[in-house]
Chains A and B, each alone.
Chain A
Amino acid sequence: MNLLEVDGLTVGVERSPTSILANVAFSVPEGRIVGLVGESGSGKTMAALTMMGLLPDGIEVRSGSVRIDGRQLMDPETMTVERRAGDMAMIFQHPQAALNPTMRVGRQIARVFSLQQGCGRDEAMSLAIEMLGRVGIPGAGRVARAYPHQLSGGMCQRVMIAMALACRPRILIADEPTTALDVTIQAQIFDLIRDLVEETGAGVLFITHDLAAVAEMCDTVTVLFGGQVMEEGSRDDIFRRPRNPYTTYLLDSVQKEVDPHVIEAGVDFELVGCRFGHRCRYAWEECGRVPDLVSVGAGHRSACFLHAMEENGAGAP
């Protein structure tokens, strides 16, 4: 059963034909960690901000639906996501920047409890301290009285997670949650996220450019490039049997030297058709149109015109 279903999401710059996300779809089942991966500029953070209703000025949702437990969150009038408390919570890449620097961290978490459950100040604070203990913070009572600048990056990320959990979210969106942290601290945060999924059955949308972190954490993976979904499948599908030329290129780029032309071309949002077209070594005239995601195995889909050719028994051009 899918907890979160995003479908046909198109997001663009106001008064410009350019789309940052083009017809993007993905889903997150209960108790699963789904990776949303891509390079800088692939649109992965925009997808998260759309769901949280945090898009910056000048960026508009053109179409699409966001459902939680089958319930539509996208308001068709305003084209914004109307969340209920407890639908989604997000943790950010730079926890120290995301926390309020002028408020003690315990108070910041307590406020979530007050707002959501209407409990009094003292009760909210004791719930906050309990929550800090649950995310593995030793001496939670003492830490609750600290300001964010007095805590390390790893500690602040735990505070952010505690605050996210205070909402008891069905979906946790983690946007590069450990990029700013050291490896040994990253391991602790990964364990914490895994434990929470097990305990609460929440679904996690794990957004990152770090393929190794995806291999480590995710059950299924959606690969984005230039705002288009290139491929989706189980972790094994993506890492062992990638079918889309972009996914193959992305995996190769981490492990060996790849064609420099492909790397430096970047993303061209003006491009009509497949956004990877001008960087793809298989590109041909067909790629001036946008390929549909087609099934290439059980639960494994890829958007590339090559698949139709392979189907017809022809080799790669």
Chain B
Amino acid sequence: MPALLEVRGLWKTFGRGRGALPAVRGVDLDVERGETVGVVGESGCGKTTLARMVAGLTRATDGDIRFDGSDLDGSSASIENRRRIQMVFQHPAQSLNRRMSVGAMLAEPLRLLAGVPRSDTTDRIEEMLGLVGLDPAFRTRRPRQLSGGQQQRVAIARALMPDPDLVVLDEPTSSLDQSLRGRMIALLRRIQELRDVSYLFISHDLGTVRRIADRVAVMYLGRIVEIAGTRQLFEDPRHPYTKALLSVAPTMDLDRARTRIVLEGETPSPTDLPTGCSFQDRCPLVFDRCREESPVLTLVDDYREVECFAVAPSSGS
């Protein structure tokens, strides 16, 4: 059986000509039913653009997105696919309609996407509020009467209302205080157990992704440079960028012995990429071949793919 979501050779270039900015440069990614795939990376790596293409909000320049066996195209997604793929955004205060009550916001996707008449929505709204841990009385509130954590729960509830198969979450916890993040993760996990929904979880917060994802993809300059099982990736990273990223992520564990790999310089501009591997100028393992050829994702051991000549010499295209 094919995966629920299959992304193949996906590209997105913003603008054209000399200033063209390739935000996503040939991404392959699968998400299985009931699975959580985390996508991590730093600002500008293309993770949000990838999320928006999967959710049908941004049209891909090239490549395919297949959902449950059928092709998705951002502009012509069927109502049924719109129902089955939902998205939760980073800033709930901006993504909720501040003129609508919580109840009206939760009813809308049911009416528009699932064809449920308005009169039949009440029970399902109350059930959903219960699921995300909010009192039924919240139905009449408006976003400004809610705290940030409560707003994000409403956003999650709204995404779940039409009973989707895949929820794309773009930095859902980064606007929340650290103490609230743990609770949000527990909530998402419980919902997944109850509803068998898949998550594509985008975040720059490695700690959060480690706690929720089954598999993790690391993006750098528009490409996935490593993808592996969560434990595999965090305990034994292989790509030099993943290694550096994990080695400098602060941790509360005072006993963790580690060697910090502090990368020099900053991520180069995607409008002016070097020939060969795009990580070459910051890579501690760089050699001649990296400046001539571009590596591609290559299976190096069970379930782990890495895009690096130093780690996987056969990763030439």
Contact in complex: B177, A39 (CB < 8 Å):
yes
Contacts of B249 in A (CB 8 A): 183, 212
For chain A, residues 220 to 255, give those with C-beta under 8 angstroms from any C-beta of chain B. 235-236, 239-240, 249-251, 253-255
**Cα–Cα distance between A154 and B43 once the two chains are bound (Å):** 11
B133 at the interface (CB under 8 A from A): yes
Contacts of B116 in A (CB 8 A): none
Q: Is the interface of B mostly helix, strand, loop or mixed?
A: loop
A115 at the interface (CB under 8 A from B): no
- Residue in A closest to B261 when the chains form the complex, CB atoms: A187
Known: A212-B252, A216-B251. A183 touches B245 (CB 8 A): yes
Contact in complex: A210, B204 (CB < 8 Å):
no
Please classify how large the interface on chain B is, using the bins under 10, 10 to 19, 20 to 34, 35 or more: 20 to 34
**Cα–Cα distance between A142 and B249 once the two chains are bound (Å):** 31
**Cα–Cα distance between A263 and B219 once the two chains are bound (Å):** 33
- Residue in B closest to A188 when the chains form the complex, CB atoms: B262
Closest 8 pairs between A and B when the two form their complex, measured CB to CB:
A187-B248, A253-B179, A212-B250, A182-B42, A216-B250, A215-B252, A257-B186, A187-B262
Contacts of A209 in B (CB 8 A): 177-178
- Residue in B closest to A211 when the chains form the complex, CB atoms: B252
Shortest CB distance B147–A (Å): 7
**Cα–Cα distance between A257 and B260 once the two chains are bound (Å):** 29
Known: A40-B177, A212-B252. A182 touches B43 (CB 8 A): yes
> Can you give 10 contacting A-B residue pairs, CB < 8 Å?
A155-B266, A184-B244, A212-B207, A213-B250, A215-B253, A250-B179, A254-B179, A254-B182, A257-B182, A257-B183
List 5 additional A-B contacts (Cβ < 8 Å) besides A187-B263, A254-B182.
A185-B266, A215-B253, A236-B254, A240-B254, A254-B178
A interface residues, how many (CB within 8 angstroms): 40
Contacts of B180 in A (CB 8 A): 263
- Residue in A closest to B247 when the chains form the complex, CB atoms: A187
A15 at the interface (CB under 8 A from B): no
Interface residue from B252, B254, B262 paired with A254 (Cβ < 8 Å): B252
Binary A-proximity of B187-206 (CB < 8 A = 1, otherwise 0): 00000000000000000101
**Cα–Cα distance between A186 and B249 once the two chains are bound (Å):** 9
**Cα–Cα distance between A254 and B180 once the two chains are bound (Å):** 8
**Cα–Cα distance between A182 and B266 once the two chains are bound (Å):** 10
For chain A, residues 260 to 293, give those with C-beta under 8 angstroms from any C-beta of chain B. 260, 263-264, 266
B149 at the interface (CB under 8 A from A): yes
For chain A, residues 126 to 169, give those with C-beta under 8 angstroms from any C-beta of chain B. 138, 152-155
Shortest CB distance B163–A (Å): 25
Residues of A within 8 A of B (CB): 39-40, 138, 152-155, 182-188, 191, 209-213, 215-217, 235-236, 239-240, 249-251, 253-258, 260, 263-264, 266
Contacts of A138 in B (CB 8 A): 265
**Cα–Cα distance between A210 and B177 once the two chains are bound (Å):** 9
**Cα–Cα distance between A140 and B266 once the two chains are bound (Å):** 15
Contact in complex: B204, A182 (CB < 8 Å):
yes
- Residue in B closest to A240 when the chains form the complex, CB atoms: B254
Contacts of A40 in B (CB 8 A): 177
Contact in complex: A215, B177 (CB < 8 Å):
no
Known: A152-B266, A258-B182. A184 touches B207 (CB 8 A): no
Known: A182-B42, A184-B244. A210 touches B250 (CB 8 A): yes
Contacts of B245 in A (CB 8 A): 183-184
Interface residue from A152, A182, A215, A256 paired with B182 (Cβ < 8 Å): A256
Contact in complex: B266, A183 (CB < 8 Å):
no
- Residue in A closest to B41 when the chains form the complex, CB atoms: A182
Known: A188-B262, A257-B186, A263-B183. A212 touches B251 (CB 8 A): yes
Q: Which of A39, A154, A183 is most buried by chain B, counting CB atoms within 10 A of its CB?
A: A183
Q: Which of A184, A251, A255, A256 is most buried by chain B, counting CB atoms within 10 A of its CB?
A: A184
Contact in complex: A184, B248 (CB < 8 Å):
yes
Contacts of A188 in B (CB 8 A): 262-263
**Cα–Cα distance between A191 and B186 once the two chains are bound (Å):** 34
Contacts of A255 in B (CB 8 A): 182, 252
Contacts of A212 in B (CB 8 A): 207, 249-252
**Cα–Cα distance between A153 and B133 once the two chains are bound (Å):** 37
**Cα–Cα distance between A260 and B186 once the two chains are bound (Å):** 11
